[in-house]
Amino acid sequence: MRRTPFFPPLSLLSLMLLFLSNPALAWGPHTEITRAAIAVQPNLPELKKSFGDELDRIAKDYCWMGDWRESVRPDHYADDYLLFPNAPDHSSHMPPEVRRTYKPFFLRALQALRTENPQNSSRWIGSLLHFLQDLGSPPHEANVGGATHTKMERWLDESKIHIADYKPRLLGKTDEEALAGLLERMDQLHAFAKVRGEKLKPLVEKLTIRENQSLELECALETAHVTADVLFTLFTLCREAPAKIGGSFSGNFV
């Protein structure tokens, strides 16, 4: 008897695509880093009122956007927030190539904050944060792959990622100043993570059983500081008229 081909229901198919699209190698604490950075924003009550549930989704979902390329998510297509005229191709998340994402994604997130709804703004912010945070990943800075890569970015106690005493820094008062400040801040994160990545590599190579690494936690905490600075700068600048760089548009964020 001839069998009828089985086509999984759309919901099951979506789950299969999600599973296949998530890479094995990923800077584990994206969510915890982002939550810690959001928690120290000085205007947090206002942000919660403006963004609603989307604010938490920046941490829970959208900060993983960079790892979801060509992925069909339950409520959006990831590449809609990863590819656009100023970033027409997928970029590596390893330095130095990941650095080319900073300017276009920062300006695109700022444009969305000024002219689009909280959902779109949150998704563009998530894409930006993913690329920024990947620079703080120790194996990215040490240019390490394979099993050692996983050990170097997932062997940490994520429950310790809190920066409650940190006060976010404004990276610039205009779009142009903020971009310059962002690049300088990323240079600092690069130097911070590179030193620790090079120290961490020989330590974890010898281990066969997981042991949480303090050097990884240090990188995660510093990445949370940078994330807090970037969020504070975006939320501050979105109320200002844009400088004439990168194609930003004026508007009011509600």
pLDDT value for 187: 95
Task: Please state which of the ranges 68-77, 134-143, 155-164, 186-195 shows the lowest mean pLDDT.
Answer: 134-143
Mean pLDDT of the chain: 87
Residue 225, SS3 per DSSP: helix
Give Cβ neighbours of residue 233 (< 8 Å, ≥ 6 apart).
168, 170, 171, 172, 178, 181, 182
Angle in degrees, 0-180, between the axes of helices 118-134 and 102-115, rounded to the nearest 10: 160
Q: What's the mean pLDDT in 42-54?
A: 96
* DSSP3 helix / strand / coil % (the chain, rounded to 5): 60, 0, 35
Dump pLDDT digits (tens) for 28-40.
Answer: 899 999 999 999 9
What pLDDT band is residue 242 in, cutting at 50, 70 and 90?
low
Does 99 score more than 80 pLDDT?
yes
Exposed / middle / buried, residue 238 (Cβ in 10 Å: 0-12, 13-18, 19+) = buried
Report CA dihedral (58, 247, 190, 170) to the nearest 10 degrees. -70
Higher local confidence (pLDDT), 244 or 46: 46
Could you please report the per-residue DSSP string of 104-139?
HHHHHHHHHHHHS-HHHHHHHHHHHHHHHHHTT-HH
Residue 62, pLDDT above cutoff 50: yes
- 182 close to 190: Cβ distance less than 8 angstroms: no
Instruction: Please report the pLDDT score of residue 77 as a whole number.
Output: 96
Q: In this predicted structure, what is the pLDDT of residue 145? A: 86
Instruction: Map out the domains of the chain with their CATH numbers.
Output: 23-237 (1.10.575)
Residue 54, C-beta contacts closer than 8 angstroms, at least 6 positions apart = 118, 119, 121, 122
Contact 224, 59 (CB under 8 A): no
pLDDT above 90: percentage of residues in the chain: 77
Q: Which of 252, 221, 224, 237 lies closest to 106 in space, CA to CA?
A: 237
- On the question of pLDDT at 1 being above 80, the answer is no
How confident is the model at residue 141, as a pLDDT?
Answer: 81
241: confidence class by pLDDT, cuts 50, 70, 90: low
Give the pLDDT of residue 239.
Answer: 82
Which residue in this structure is represented by tokens 């911070």? 192
pLDDT band per the 50, 70, 90 thresholds, residue 25: low
Mean pLDDT computed over 243-249: 47
Q: Virtual CA dihedral for 193, 197, 198, 199, nearest 10 degrees?
A: 110
Tell me the pLDDT tens digit for each residue of 150-201. Answer: 999 999 999 999 999 999 999 999 999 999 999 999 999 999 999 999 999 9
**Type of residue at 92:** S
Model pLDDT, residue 252: 41
The answer to whether residue 21 scores a pLDDT higher than 70 is: no
For residues 168 and 42, the answer to whether their CB atoms sit within 8 Å is: yes
pLDDT number for residue 250: 39
Count of residues making up the chain: 254
Q: Check residue 5 and report its DSSP letter.
A: P
- Residue 254, pLDDT score: 39
pLDDT at residue 243, as a whole number? 56
